């Protein structure tokens, strides 16, 4: 399992970084859009939208919304969306961690869950595209490195020292030690990011702490859906990692908040 996980990451991570650095903006937007649409397809399966026609309709609608957002070239309005998504994940993280009773059924609300999930996917895509086109490829790479650092820190800290359950009703495998590992990894990222981008260390440390908390919400939110759907992974596209949603659950929470933070820091118009 670990060997597959490392092999997949070793192959795909450099390819994605190369794409961010070299692809023209429309091509990268299209590539990221394809990844998001695959994630939306997996979401439709998890939420048990049974008819293929209904799934295709939901994907087509999401694709149209992405196209409208891209071709409008108006990146002012999404900040409201980013703010709403940030609040959503912050509250979700707190609610899921504090919950000690059987959770409300989410999967049964199929179209509602798909609508919320698609909105979160759309916000993530818009944020990534906006960061690339206005703040620059280096900031988008920083976002990816932050998410990968948190995931890696959480995985190894949880595996080696995990003892105290983070949210046993949602994901019995997640531990506070894993969360602390993600926090430490994010802190190390903050030091490197402050030097790389020549921004105040305090700002990057604060950003890393906020993103860590929000990403816990993203991770637990996907775990909730998978547990209620009684599936281990969102898919099997990525050996050792599961599906696309399994890889971008933290990014769903991180990207909109990251874009909003860059705006507040004066790094994006």
What does the block give as tokens for 263? 């705006």
Q: Which residues pair with 53 in a beta bridge?
A: none
Q: Predicted confidence band at 196 (pLDDT cuts at 50, 70, 90)?
A: very high
- What is the per-residue pLDDT across 200-221, written as a single tens digit (0 to 9) for each? 999 999 999 999 999 999 888 8
Q: What would the mean pLDDT of 51-76 be, rounded to a whole number?
A: 79
pLDDT for 24 equals 94
pLDDT for 206 equals 96
| CA 257 – CA 214 distance, rounded (Å) | 8
Q: Predicted confidence band at 3 (pLDDT cuts at 50, 70, 90)?
A: low
Range from 92-96, 152-156, 179-183, 223-227 carrying the lowest mean pLDDT: 223-227
| CA 72 – CA 129 distance, rounded (Å) | 13
- From residue 227, alpha-carbon distances to 67, 105, 232 in Å are 32, 10, 7
| CA 222 – CA 80 distance, rounded (Å) | 23
| CA 226 – CA 169 distance, rounded (Å) | 13
Q: What would the mean pLDDT of 184-191 be, rounded to a whole number?
A: 96
Highest mean pLDDT among 66-70, 167-171, 202-206: 202-206
pLDDT, the chain, mean: 85
pTM over 0.85: yes
Indicate whether 18 pLDDT > 90: yes
Q: What would the mean pLDDT of 85-106 be, rounded to a whole number?
A: 78
Are residues 189 and 149 in contact, defined by beta-carbon separation less than 8 angstroms? yes
DSSP three-state, residue 72: helix
In percent, the amount of the chain with pLDDT more than 70 equals 85
Alpha helices in the chain (DSSP H): 2-22, 25-46, 52-72, 78-98, 110-130, 137-161, 176-197, 201-229, 244-264
Are residues 186 and 195 in contact, defined by beta-carbon separation less than 8 angstroms? no
Q: What would the mean pLDDT of 170-199 be, rounded to a whole number?
A: 94
In percent, the amount of the chain with pLDDT more than 90 equals 48
pLDDT for 100 equals 60
136: alpha, beta or left, given left = phi > 0 and alpha = psi -120 to 50?
left
- First-to-last alpha carbon distance for the chain, in angstroms, is 43
């Amino acid at each position: 399992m670990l060997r597959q996980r490392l092999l997949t990451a070793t192959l795909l991570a450099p390819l994605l970084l190369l794409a961010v650095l070299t692809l023209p903006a429309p091509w990268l937007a299209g590539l990221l859009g394809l990844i998001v649409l695959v994630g939306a397809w997996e979401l439709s399966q998890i939420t048990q939208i049974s008819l293929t026609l209904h799934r295709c309709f939901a994907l087509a609608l999401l694709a149209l919304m992405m196209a409208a957002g891209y071709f409008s070239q108006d990146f002012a309005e999404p900040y409201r969306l980013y703010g709403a998504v940030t609040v959503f994940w912050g509250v979700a993280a707190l609610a899921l961690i504090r919950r000690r009773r059987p959770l409300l059924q989410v999967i049964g609300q199929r179209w509602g869950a798909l609508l919320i999930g698609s909105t979160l996917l759309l916000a993530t895509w818009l944020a990534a595209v906006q960061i690339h086109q206005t703040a620059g490829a280096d900031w988008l790479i920083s976002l990816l490195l932050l998410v990968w650092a948190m995931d890696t820190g959480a995985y190894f800290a949880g595996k080696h020292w995990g003892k105290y359950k983070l949210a046993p009703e949602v994901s019995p495998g997640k531990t506070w030690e894993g969360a602390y590992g993600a926090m430490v990894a994010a802190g190390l990222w903050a030091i490197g990011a402050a030097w790389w981008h020549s921004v105040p260390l305090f700002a990057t440390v604060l950003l890393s702490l906020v993103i860590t908390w929000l990403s816990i919400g993203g991770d637990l939110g996907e775990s909730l859906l998978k547990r209620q759907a009684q599936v281990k992974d969102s898919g099997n596209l990525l050996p050792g990692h599961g599906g696309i949603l399994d890889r971008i659950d933290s990014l769903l929470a991180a990207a909109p908040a990251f874009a909003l933070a860059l705006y507040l820091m004066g790094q994006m118009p």
